[in-house]
Structure 1
Amino acid sequence: MIDYKDKAIHCVKDTVLPMQRKQFEECGCCLDEQYKRYGNTEWLFAKTIEEGHVYEIGYPACVCPDVASGKVKDVSHCECSRQSVLYIIGNLLPDKKISVEIIETVLGGAEKCRFKVTVE
Structure 2
Amino acid sequence: MDDKIRYWFQGFEQGVAALGTSQQEALFHECGKNCVQQGTLAFYQSLYRTAEGNLDRFFEAVNDTPGLRGEVMEPDTVYLLAFAQCSCPLVTEGYVRSPRLCECSRQSVLYVLRTLWPEKRFEVTLCGTILRGAQECACRITVQ
> Which residue does 1:41 correspond to in 2?
65
Amino acid at match of 2:83: Y
Q: Does 1:98 align with 2:122?
A: yes
Bigger radius of gyration among the two = 2
| Cross-structure match for 1:14 | 38
Q: State TM-score, norm by structure 2.
A: 0.79
Q: TM-score, normalised by structure 1?
A: 0.93
Give me the CA root mean square deviation: 1.3
Any conservation in 2 of the 1:99–1:118 contact (CA below 8 Å)? yes
Q: Does 1:5 align with 2:29?
A: yes
CA positional deviation for 1:61: 0.9
User: Kindly, what percent of the aligned residue pairs are identical?
Assistant: 31
Q: Which amino acid aligns with 2:32?
A: A
Segments of structure 1 that go 5 or more residues without pairing to the other structure are none
Aligned residues: 120
Match of 2:113 among 71, 78, 89: 89
Pairing 1:12-91 to 2, within 5 Å after superposition? 12-91=36-115
- TM-superposed CA distance for 1:63, in Å, is 1.2
Whether the aligned pair in 2 keeps the contact of 1:102 and 1:114 (CA below 8 Å) is: yes
